[in-house]
Amino acid sequence: EKGGFDHFMLKEIYEQPRSVKDCMRGRIYPEKGKVQLGGIKEFAEKLKNIDRIIIVACGTSWHAGLVGEYLIEEYARIPVEVEYASEFRYRNPIITEKDVVIAISQSGETADTMAAIEMAKERGATIFGICNVAGASIPRLTHAGVYTHAGPEIGVASTKAFTAQVTVLTLMAFYMAQQKGTITTSKLIELLTELDNIPEKIQVALESNDLIKEVAAKIKDSTNCLFLGRGSGFPVALEGALKLKEISYIHAEGYPAAEMKHGPIALIDEEMPVVFIATQNSSYEKVISNIQEVKARKGKVIAIVTEGDTEVKKMADYCIEIPDANEAFLPLLATIPLQLLSYHIAVMRGCNVDQPRNLAKSVTVE
Ligand code: F6R
C-alpha cells in the first residue's frame, strides 16, 4: 500500500509530478493560451466585476492561500485578503454580495473553515471551494468549486494536497486574468506552456533527495530552525517551517526574510540553521543580503537555489538546487526539497512521520 516507500508521506511526496499533472488535466490549453475551470464556469461573468476576494483556510491550506494572493493580485489584479478561518469567523468581518470567498480545505471537513463559509454565505458572498475530497462537507456548502484531484492523502502532514491547492490557485489566477482581460493570450500561452512542464521539473527537484538527506543529518539535532523567503517564497518558508515542526517536533518559524532584522536576528548563532528560499527571481539580490546578515552572525545557511547558481553557493553552507522557472511557479518547486528535508529529519529523530503526536487528518472540532 505504501508502494515500496517506508512511509505514506514519502510516497505522497514522490507522487507530486503525477498529482500536479492530474490537477491540470483538461483545465489548461497551452497552445491556445486558455484555462478552463468547469467548476466555476457559471460565475465567469461575475468574475469580470468583482472588487475583492477573501481566502479562508487553516494551516497548510492557509499557506496555499497566501500563494494564491500573490498570483491573483499579480495576474488578475483583484485585491485579495487571506484569513485564518478561525479568526475570520469570530470577527464581524465586512462582507457583501460583491465579494467572492475562496475556502481552501484538503479534507473538506475542517470545522472553522466550514463556519467561516456559513457566515460569508449568510452575508451574501459567493463561495468557491478548493477541496481534495469529492462530496465532503465543504464542497456541499459552497456555490461552486474546483477539486484538487491529488488522490487520497494518508500522511497527516499535507504534501501533495498542498501542491495541488497551489496548482488550482495558479489556474484560478490565470482564469480570472483571462476573464478580466488583465493578461494577453500570448502571455498566457507562455505561462501555460511552462506550467505544463512543471511536473517534469518537480521530478528533477525530487532527484536531490540524497543530498537533502545529507543536509538533514547535519541539522537533525537542532532545537530551532528559521525559514526565510520573500515574495511568494515567504509562504513557502511558512510551509517549510510548519512541516518541520509538525513531524520532527523541532521548533521552527517561517518569516519574510526582510523581517528578520526586526526581531528574529537576535536568535542567530552557530546553533541556528536558517533555510533560505534563494532562487533567482525578483528578490534574489535582497535575499543574498539577508544571507550575508545570517553568515555574519555565524548562522548555518541552507539555501534552496536555482540550478547553476554560483552567488549563493559562495556563502551558504549547503545549497539544494531546483530547476529554473518563472517566479509564478516557484512555490510548486521550492516546496519539494523542504518536504524532503522535514521528512528525513523526522525519520532520523525516530518520529512517527505519518502520524505525528497530537495531530489528526481532519480537524472537525473548533
Ligand atoms: C499540516 C496540515 C494542517 C491542515 C489544516 C487544514 O500539514 O495538514 O495544517 O492543513 O488542518 O486542513 P484542511 O486543509 O483539511 O482544511
Tens-digit pLDDT profile for the chain (366 aa)?
899 999 999 999 999 999 999 999 999 999 999 999 999 999 999 999 899 999 999 999 999 999 999 999 999 999 999 999 999 999 999 999 999 999 999 999 999 999 999 999 999 999 999 999 999 999 999 999 999 999 999 998 999 999 999 999 999 999 999 999 999 999 999 999 999 999 999 999 999 999 999 999 999 999 999 999 999 999 999 999 999 999 999 999 999 999 999 998 889 999 999 999 999 999 999 999 999 999 999 999 999 999 999 999 999 999 999 999 999 999 999 999 999 999 999 999 999 999 888 888 888 888
Rounded to the nearest angstrom, the gap between the alpha carbon of residue 83 and the centroid of all alpha carbons in its chain is 15
HSE of 260 in the Cβ direction (CA atoms, 13 Å)? Answer: 27
Residue of 62, 102, 343, 363 with the most ligand 1 atoms within 8 Å of its CB, for mutation: 363
Please give the grid coordinates belonging to residue 136. Answer: 465532503
- Which ligand 1 atom sits closest to the C-alpha of 107? 15
∠ CA(154), CA(233), CA(57), 5° rounding?
A: 50
Report the alpha-carbon distance of residue 180 to residue 4 in Å, rounded: 46
Report the alpha-carbon distance of residue 103 to residue 92 in Å, rounded: 18
Residues with CB under 6 A from ligand 1: 58-61, 105-107, 110, 113, 157-158, 242, 246, 362-363
Q: Which amino acid is it at 265? A: I
pTM as predicted: 0.97
Shortest-distance Cα residue to atom 11 of ligand 1: 59
Instruction: Determine the distance separating the centroid of ligand 1 and the alpha carbon of 359, expressed in angstroms.
Output: 10
Q: Is the interface score ipTM higher than 0.95? A: yes
Report the alpha-carbon distance of residue 33 to residue 28 in Å, rounded: 8
222 touches 252 (CB < 8 A): no
Instruction: Determine the distance separating the centroid of ligand 1 and the alpha carbon of 226, expressed in angstroms.
Output: 21
∠ CA(318), CA(323), CA(326), 5° rounding?
A: 120
Please give the grid coordinates belonging to residue 78. Answer: 483583484
What was the pLDDT predicted at 234? 97
Residue of 12, 106, 138, 357 with the most ligand 1 atoms within 8 Å of its CB, for mutation: 106
What was the pLDDT predicted at 78? 97
Q: Which amino acid is it at 35? A: V
Strands 34-35 and 28-29: antiparallel
Q: How far apart are the first and last CA of the chain?
A: 32
